[in-house]
Structure 1
Amino acid sequence: MRILGLALAVLGVLGVAVAVAVWRQPQAALAISHWPFAWRYDPDLPVSPHTWRQLWLALAQSGVALVMLVCALFSRRWRYGLLAVAVVLAFSTQWPRPQMLLTEAHSTSYQRSPLVFSDANVLRGGRLYQAQCASCHGAAADGRGPRAASLPTWPSVLGAPLFDNRLEGELHWHVGQGGKRPSASAMHGFQAVLSADDIWRVLDYLRLRAYGTSGGAGMPAVPAPVVHLVCRDGRADSLSGLRGLPLRVVAHALEAPDQPQDPRILTIALTRGAPGKANADCVAADRGAWDAYALAAGVPPEALAGAQFMVDRRGWLRARRLPGAAPAWTSADNVCGPGGRMEGGAAGGLGELLLAMDRTPIALPQRSP
């Protein structure tokens, strides 16, 4: 009996330790291949003070019941009395309903994409989206596809709010499985026509497209698309090989003068098939690279020339300067100032931007390079 009591105590301590470890982890940092529970903790879920009080009272009552149970296992004289008290306390505990504290979860909730966030994967995701999703959600992901009006539920807009407080694995599950109940959603599951990797590609396409239209406001950080490079000193052959260095990605315009080089940053020129015409540290000549960054700018590929992007040392898109607009860097966070805007592109402005990126790094895990 004493061994059983010790085993129960050890299991209880381990369970509490695991729960606390999961709770303290940022949701975006968790990567669990199979989540075994139907619910998960969501720090953004509003919980009333009454529900919190009910939870703490239930935990306290359960704790007392556990103590009574352990004492009963070690006591011969009061064993049955303590067991009776423990049973009464355990069965009379009033726990709050799970949906008052937790949000619904799926087995894939904490899965993360195993794919590189590259121009090839993003553009393939775009082609799959146009083939499988655009008829309902619209070519521009605005919910205005040609079939939208004929559906029982109007398709959702697949913009920045889609990724706000939504785990990657849950988005993947909803695309693959569709609605929880056939009558609750007009969208059917795509698991039969899209592989797991292809669903990740579609989500990456939508993520980069949402960044392009919103500038990153109202959504988690977005990586800079990984592209193939030719560097004049041979230091790397892809964007992921430059991690640890701040980067400026420039869509080279043939008729415009070259951007002045800044020794504090590495300049990457997107040339759309003209590798030898840009004065830059590295050149991305593939058309796919150009098209991927056009998505990040929220403009058609033919209008990208002149755009610039700042990429931090961890590979995240932090700021952009769009073509044809007033000369200003803009960002979704405060690296461009409190208003998310930094006027001018002088060296002093870039210096402030670099310092701000280093002071406020993105506290999220990187994808595999």
Structure 2
Amino acid sequence: MAATAPAWLEFLLWLLQGLQTGLLGLADALGLTRRLDGQPLWPLPWRFASEMLRVDFGVARRLALALAAAAVVALALLLALWRPLRRPALVVGALAAGIGAGFLGALLLQPSSRAAVLAEAAPTHFHRSPLSFDSTAVADGEPLYAAHCAACHGSDGRGEGPRAAGLPMWPPDLSRGLLWQKSDGELFWHVRHGTVTGRRPGSAGESALHGFADTLSDRDIWATLAYLQALAAGQSLLRTGRWVTPVPLPALDVDCGSGPALAERAGVRLRVVAGPDVPLPDPRLDTLLLLPPDADAGTDTAAADCVSRSAQAWKTFALIAGVAPEQLAGTQWIADRQGWLRALGRPPLAGWSDADMVCRSDAAPAPKAAAGEDGLGALIARMDAEPVRAIRGAYIH
């Protein structure tokens, strides 16, 4: 869940994201930047450090004032070009330009402020994974992670692999939200080209993570990152009892019979059940039944709206739940109307309650249940009262 931030700061971050993506689109349209995997590369060596601005309100305020002054400058210059108001507008424009330059200069010339406003940018910082969070990609990433990453990061991603002690820097714990603090594209670039302690990747220095550009294809890297996202979710659940970052419903192969396809059920709450037993239908939820790879072909699925017999989906949901695949049967999840997994029920599940919500904000008190409301109703009420505002690399997704 995203931490609460003032409305003006949310607007500032939204504006900065729009300015940068707009600049990237313009550079791409003019042919001023190259492309990788069909996505344009960021052409500048720096970007706005939105992750720092989210926590340093003082610098964020000064940047907001500087941008406001720049907007005044632009307006004043437009007025200066308007013939009937040429002379007074020139005076206003000069004053506004001086104020704007003063604000920006004071902000960017101070090393501490500059470090909080600007950050070195990976060329793929604004890229999105072409594989998304897909169960096939997660399954493909599992052997890649085991072969190339587990020796240092550990099989559980907590940074305690057998080679960890011999590295220049101890590997980070990937289950504590680190993956969500970086953009998809930034993670991709670091895995592809490596990182260097205290320096920009590719420069001279001591390697903290060697690059895999010569070992893994771009698709392999994206698949490994998808696997890591599922692994981190399960490990976070085991350690804290909740997901420290939002977990989307993975894309998977399903059969919805004559009903709407899963992609057409947007805006509907979904109950995911690791079968083979299907609970009674509930009008508040659609039901997706996951069947294990060895399920009997004659399993009764009539009570389910959709069915998945995908071995990759079964493994992915086991990772997310933090259990071995053979222990998954009987586990249930509830996804909200936006497609985020919000609640988890372990077997044997006698009934739901709002305590089963594992994607939640601890800062927000649970709403009071209405008179006569059952446990599932209380859970749904809490889900609706605490919508996910996902922050990825300090940007709202």
Gaps of 5+ in 1: 1-18
Shift of 1:123: 0.9
How high is the sequence identity, in percent, across the aligned residues? 36
State the match for 1:165 in structure 2: 181
Over the aligned positions, Cα root-mean-square deviation in angstroms equals: 4.4
Q: Larger Cα Rg: Structure 1 or Structure 2? A: 1
TM-score (norm 1): 0.72
Shift of 1:246: 1.4
8 Å Cα contact 1:27-1:167 kept in structure 2: no
1:271 is matched with which residue: 291, 301, 305?
Answer: 291
SS in structure 2 of the partner of residue 103 of structure 1: strand
8 Å Cα contact 1:229-1:236 kept in structure 2: no
2:230 is matched with which residue: 208, 222, 225?
Answer: 208
Residue 34 (str. 1) matches residue 33 (str. 2): no
One-letter code aligned to 1:333:
R
Aligned length: 330
Instruction: Report 1:308-347 matches (<5 A).
Output: 308-323=332-347, 329-333=356-360, 338=365
In 2, the alpha carbon distance for the partners of 1:129 and 1:59 equals 46
In 2, the alpha carbon distance for the partners of 1:252 and 1:347 equals 27
Deviations 1:178-219 (A, max 9, x none): 112453432111122222222121111111111122245332
Instruction: Report 1:1-369 matches (<5 A).
Output: 22-23=15-16, 33-37=40-44, 38-42=46-50, 44-45=52-53, 46-47=55-56, 49=58, 56=65, 93-96=105-108, 97=111, 98-179=114-195, 180=201, 181=203, 183-215=205-237, 217-219=243-245, 221-231=246-256, 233-236=257-260, 239-252=262-275, 258-272=278-292, 273-274=294-295, 275-279=297-301, 280-281=303-304, 282-323=306-347, 329-333=356-360, 338=365, 348-358=374-384, 360-363=386-389
8 Å Cα contact 1:40-1:103 kept in structure 2: yes
TM-score (norm 2): 0.68
State the match for 2:31 in structure 1: none
8 Å Cα contact 1:250-1:267 kept in structure 2: yes
SS in structure 2 of the partner of residue 250 of structure 1: strand
Deviations 1:54-103 (A, max 9, x none): 98579859977996999699989xx9xx99xx89x969954424313233
SS in structure 1 of the partner of residue 171 of structure 2: coil
Q: Label 1:183 to 1:267 Cα distance change in 2 as closer, same or farther (>3 A).
A: same
Gaps of 5+ in 2: 1-11, 26-39, 196-200, 392-397
In 1, the alpha carbon distance for the partners of 2:335 and 2:321 equals 14
Structure with the larger RCO, 1 or 2 (CA within 8 Å, 6+ apart) = 2
Moved more, 41-50 or 302-311: 41-50
8 Å Cα contact 2:154-2:162 kept in structure 1: yes
8 Å Cα contact 1:307-1:323 kept in structure 2: yes
